[in-house]
Structure 1
Amino acid sequence: MGNFHATRPLSYAEADIMGQFPVLNAYTMLLYGFQLPLDVDNHSIVSMLQKTFDDLVARIPLFGCQVGTKESGLRTVLPWPENMRKERVHVNICDDSIASMEELLVAKNPARMLDGKELCPWPALPMPHGLTGPAPVVALQANFICGGLILTLAAHHTIMDGTADFQFLKMFFDLLSGRELESVDLEQANRDRSQLIPLIPEGEPVKDYPHLLSSSKPAFVMPASQPIWCYFLMPVESLNKLVKRARDNQLGKDVQISSDDILSAFYWKRLCALRIARGMPPDTESKCSRAINTRIALGIPSSYIGAQISPCITRLSLAQVIELNITQLAQILRTDLMEAATPWAVRSFATFISRKSPEARAKLLYTGSHDSNTDIGFTNMSKLERPRGVLGTVGAMSLLSPPEYGADSRLIPDSGTRGWCLPYHDMLA
Structure 2
Amino acid sequence: MAELNLAHYEDVLGQLPRLKTYSHLLLVFPLLGDRCPDPLIDSIESAAQEVRNAFPWLACRVLHEGRGPGNSGVFKLATCPEFAFPNPVVRRKDCTDNFPTYQEIIDAHGPVAMLDGNILAPLPAFPHIYDDSKLNPAPVLAIQVTVIKGGLLLDIAAQHNIVDGGSLMRILDLLAKSMRGEQFSAEEIEHGNRDRTKLIRLLQSDEPMLDHSHLILDPHGASKPPGGRPKAQWRYVRFPVQKRNILKERANKEIEGGDELFISTNDTLSAFIWKRVSAARLKRRKRPDDLSKFSRALDARRALEIPREYLGQMGYNATCFLTFRELETMSVGQIGVFLRQAVREVNTNYAARSWATLIANEPNKARIMFGGSFNPDKDIGISSILHANFNNVDFGDLGKPSLFRRPLFSPLESCVYLWTQTVEGHVDALLCLIEADWNELRADVEWSEHTELIG
Please, what TM-score do these two structures have when normalized by structure 2?
A: 0.86
Could you tell me which residue of structure 2 aligns to residue 306 of structure 1? 312
Could you tell me which residue of structure 1 aligns to residue 239 of structure 2? 234
Of 178, 182, 190 in structure 1, the residue corresponding to residue 181 of structure 2 is: 178
The CA deviation at 1:31 is: 0.7
Evaluate the alpha carbon distance shift between residue 280 and residue 93 of structure 1 in structure 2; reply closer, same or farther with a 3 A threshold. Answer: farther
**SS of the counterpart of 1:155?**
strand
Of 252, 256, 266 in structure 2, the residue corresponding to residue 260 of structure 1 is: 266
CA–CA separation in structure 2 for the residues paired with 1:305 and 1:223: 40
The CA deviation at 1:153 is: 0.8
Could you tell me which residue of structure 2 aligns to residue 426 of structure 1? 437
Matched, 1:93 2:94: yes
Evaluate the alpha carbon distance shift between residue 13 and residue 280 of structure 1 in structure 2; reply closer, same or farther with a 3 A threshold. Answer: farther
1:408-423 correspondence to structure 2 within 5 Å = 408-413=413-418, 414-415=420-421, 416-421=426-431, 422-423=433-434
**SS of the counterpart of 1:69?**
strand
- Maintained 8 Å contact 2:65/2:75: yes
**SS of the counterpart of 2:188?**
helix
CA–CA separation in structure 1 for the residues paired with 2:9 and 2:193: 12
CA–CA separation in structure 2 for the residues paired with 1:419 and 1:277: 23
- Maintained 8 Å contact 2:59/2:83: no
1:43-192 correspondence to structure 2 within 5 Å = 43-71=38-66, 73-81=73-81, 86-130=87-131, 131-192=134-195
- Maintained 8 Å contact 2:297/2:370: no
CA–CA separation in structure 2 for the residues paired with 1:238 and 1:291: 25
The CA deviation at 1:373 is: 2.1
Deviations 1:18-65 (A, max 9, x none): 222222110011111111135333433333222221111111112211
Evaluate the alpha carbon distance shift between residue 313 and residue 394 of structure 1 in structure 2; reply closer, same or farther with a 3 A threshold. Answer: closer
**SS of the counterpart of 1:278?**
helix
Evaluate the alpha carbon distance shift between residue 245 and residue 125 of structure 1 in structure 2; reply closer, same or farther with a 3 A threshold. Answer: same
Of 16, 19, 24 in structure 2, the residue corresponding to residue 24 of structure 1 is: 19
**SS of the counterpart of 1:393?**
helix
- Maintained 8 Å contact 1:228/1:423: yes
What amino acid is aligned across from residue 25 of structure 1 in structure 2? K
Of 331, 354, 357 in structure 2, the residue corresponding to residue 325 of structure 1 is: 331
Could you tell me which residue of structure 1 aligns to residue 216 of structure 2? 213
CA–CA separation in structure 1 for the residues paired with 2:391 and 2:182: 13
The CA deviation at 1:405 is: 1.3
The CA deviation at 1:296 is: 1.1
Quick check: 163-172 or 189-198, which moved more? 189-198
The CA deviation at 1:329 is: 1.6
Evaluate the alpha carbon distance shift between residue 220 and residue 59 of structure 1 in structure 2; reply closer, same or farther with a 3 A threshold. Answer: farther
CA–CA separation in structure 2 for the residues paired with 1:106 and 1:387: 16
- Maintained 8 Å contact 1:231/1:417: no
CA–CA separation in structure 2 for the residues paired with 1:427 and 1:15: 42
What amino acid is aligned across from residue 240 of structure 2 in structure 1? P
The CA deviation at 1:291 is: 0.8
What amino acid is aligned across from residue 243 of structure 2 in structure 1? S
What amino acid is aligned across from residue 367 of structure 1 in structure 2? G
CA–CA separation in structure 2 for the residues paired with 1:13 and 1:33: 35
Quick check: 374-383 or 31-40, which moved more? 31-40
- Maintained 8 Å contact 1:166/1:387: no
CA–CA separation in structure 2 for the residues paired with 1:169 and 1:154: 10
Percent same amino acid at aligned positions?
30
Deviations 1:345-403 (A, max 9, x none): 1110001100011xx21332331111222211111211224275445424432121111
CA–CA separation in structure 2 for the residues paired with 1:281 and 1:384: 38
Matched, 1:364 2:359: no
- Maintained 8 Å contact 1:36/1:395: no
Evaluate the alpha carbon distance shift between residue 277 and residue 82 of structure 1 in structure 2; reply closer, same or farther with a 3 A threshold. Answer: closer
Evaluate the alpha carbon distance shift between residue 374 and residue 223 of structure 1 in structure 2; reply closer, same or farther with a 3 A threshold. Answer: farther
Of 383, 398, 405 in structure 2, the residue corresponding to residue 401 of structure 1 is: 405
- Maintained 8 Å contact 1:287/1:375: yes
**SS of the counterpart of 2:168?**
helix
- Maintained 8 Å contact 2:24/2:156: yes
Say what the alpha-carbon RMSD is for the aligned residues: 2.3
Of 390, 407, 423 in structure 2, the residue corresponding to residue 386 of structure 1 is: 390
Gaps of 5+ in 2: 68-72, 441-455
Matched, 1:201 2:204: yes
**SS of the counterpart of 2:384?**
coil
What amino acid is aligned across from residue 149 of structure 1 in structure 2? L
CA–CA separation in structure 2 for the residues paired with 1:219 and 1:383: 33
Evaluate the alpha carbon distance shift between residue 365 and residue 395 of structure 1 in structure 2; reply closer, same or farther with a 3 A threshold. Answer: closer
Gaps of 5+ in 1: none
CA–CA separation in structure 2 for the residues paired with 1:243 and 1:127: 35
Matched, 1:315 2:328: no
The CA deviation at 1:210 is: 1.7
